[in-house]
């Protein structure tokens, strides 16, 4: 169930929040398919793109190690990777305009480190229709989402099919109306305005959930919806914006994703924990939303 309240307003912000995009590549078919999406996003945001590749310097060939020093072999592997990176997707990202970054180590750690040290504002990563959607945790993309300080945009697409390009459509910002909602919504409004898009606020009110022992009745659901509208109006007042508010009712993840799927939204924006720790930035609900979302997800 979905209800709406409030005007649909495009809010203009003077601040530019995304100027540098980091695009991790591993030369796979999914990276090639993602190129047009990244290029379109950069053009829409007026941002510069840098490609990063993490070279694998682990020597697995015993004969190779026997015949030559390990340092010489590693240097050769690095040179091969550098040549391949410099010639990869040059039609989409010319070398003169789009720097290449080559480093080695654990991929997610290096991507997050370079994003931090290079002051990148956004990481855009291709995802796979197979393994990624079956098990988010353990993948490079999941670890980047866990480690990276900057926002990360992940898309839903098959192995060799490009996702629908970003356009000037509605951008959905899902918030829980908790303490971190102001930070998430501020960034969402600024990023969408930079792309000349409009933001709608999306909030899920728990409805019938077979996994819960106690269910809300209709009157309780109505009170929850009214309270969510009141709190979202107060949040908008604090930020100084007006936006459409969409209230989805049902199991939280399913309600959010159903609303996203029924919309014409380019992006579903959600918050990641700004605090690192034993469990990192990702929580169970965020992981599930990113894994199963029918539209690209911008994790803030």
Same domain for 50 and 141: yes
Same domain for 93 and 213: no
Q: What pLDDT does 229 receive?
A: 95
> What is the secondary structure of 187-236 as a DSSP string?
HHHHHHHHTT-EEEEEEEE----TT-SS---HHHHHHHHHHHHHHHHHHH
Same domain for 219 and 131: no
Q: What pLDDT does 75 receive?
A: 84
Q: What pLDDT does 158 receive?
A: 46
- Residue 142 belongs to some domain of the structure: yes
Beta bridge partners of 156: none
Same domain for 207 and 250: yes
Domain end call among 125, 154, 183 = 154
Same domain for 186 and 79: no
Instruction: Sort 284 into a burial class: Cβ within 10 Å, 0-12 / 13-18 / 19+.
Output: exposed
Whether the model pTM is above 0.75: yes
Same domain for 30 and 6: no
Of 108, 107, 114, residue with least CA distance to 144: 108
Query: Which 8-state DSSP code applies to residue 15?
Result: -
Beta strands across the sheet bearing 48-55? 2-5, 244-249, 198-205, 170-174, 267-270, 297-299, 152-154, 122-125, 20-24, 48-55, 100-104
d(CA 297, CA 268): 5
Domain that holds residue 170: 2-14+166-299
Domain end call among 100, 119, 154 = 154
Local confidence pLDDT in tens for the 300 residues of the chain: 555 555 444 445 546 799 999 999 999 888 888 899 999 999 999 999 999 999 987 655 555 555 667 677 778 889 999 999 999 999 999 999 999 999 999 999 999 999 999 999 999 987 654 444 444 444 788 889 989 999 999 987 445 456 777 777 789 999 999 999 999 999 999 999 999 889 999 999 986 555 555 555 667 888 999 999 999 999 999 999 999 999 999 889 999 999 999 988 899 999 987 665 545 565 668 888 888 888 899 999
Could you tell me the CATH number of the domain that includes residue 249? 3.40.50.620
CA atoms within 13 A on the CB side of 117: 7
Same domain for 120 and 36: yes
Same domain for 191 and 80: no
- Residue 161 belongs to some domain of the structure: no
Of 284, 8, 16, 268, residue with least CA distance to 154: 268
For residue 123, what are the CA distances in angstroms to 42, 49, 155, 238, 264? 11, 10, 12, 29, 23
Helices 181-194 + 218-239 axis angle, to 10: 60
Domain count, the chain: 2
């Amino acid at each position: 169930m979905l209800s709406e309240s409030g005007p649909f307003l495009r809010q203009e912000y003077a601040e530019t929040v995304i100027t540098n995009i980091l695009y991790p590549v591993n030369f796979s078919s999914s990276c090639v398919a993602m190129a047009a999406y990244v290029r379109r996003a950069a053009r829409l945001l007026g941002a510069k793109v840098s490609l990063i590749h993490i070279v694998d310097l682990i020597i697995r060939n015993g004969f190779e190690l026997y015949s030559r020093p390990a340092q010489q072999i590693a240097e050769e592997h690095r040179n091969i990777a550098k040549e391949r990176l410099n010639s990869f997707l040059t039609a989409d990202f010319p070398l003169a305009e789009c720097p290449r970054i080559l480093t080695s180590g654990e991929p997610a750690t290096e991507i997050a480190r370079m994003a931090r040290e290079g002051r990148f504002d956004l990481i855009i990563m291709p995802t796979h229709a197979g393994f990624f959607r079956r098990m988010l945790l353990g993948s490079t993309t999941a670890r980047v989402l866990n480690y990276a300080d900057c926002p990360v945009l992940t898309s839903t697409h098959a192995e060799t099919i490009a996702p629908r390009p970003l356009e000037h459509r509605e951008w959905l910002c899902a918030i829980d109306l908790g303490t971190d909602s102001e930070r998430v919504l501020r960034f969402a409004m600024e990023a969408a305005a930079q792309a000349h898009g409009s933001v709608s606020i999306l909030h899920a009110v728990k409805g019938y959930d077979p996994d819960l022992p106690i269910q809300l009745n209709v009157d309780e659901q109505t009170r929850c919806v009214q309270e969510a509208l009141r709190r979202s109006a107060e949040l908008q007042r604090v930020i100084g914006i007006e936006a459409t508010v969409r209230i989805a009712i049902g199991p939280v993840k399913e309600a959010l994703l159903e609303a996203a799927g029924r919309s014409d939204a380019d992006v579903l924006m959600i918050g990641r924990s700004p605090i690192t720790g034993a469990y990192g930035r990702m929580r169970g609900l965020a992981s599930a939303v990113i894994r199963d979302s029918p539209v690209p997800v911008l994790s803030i």
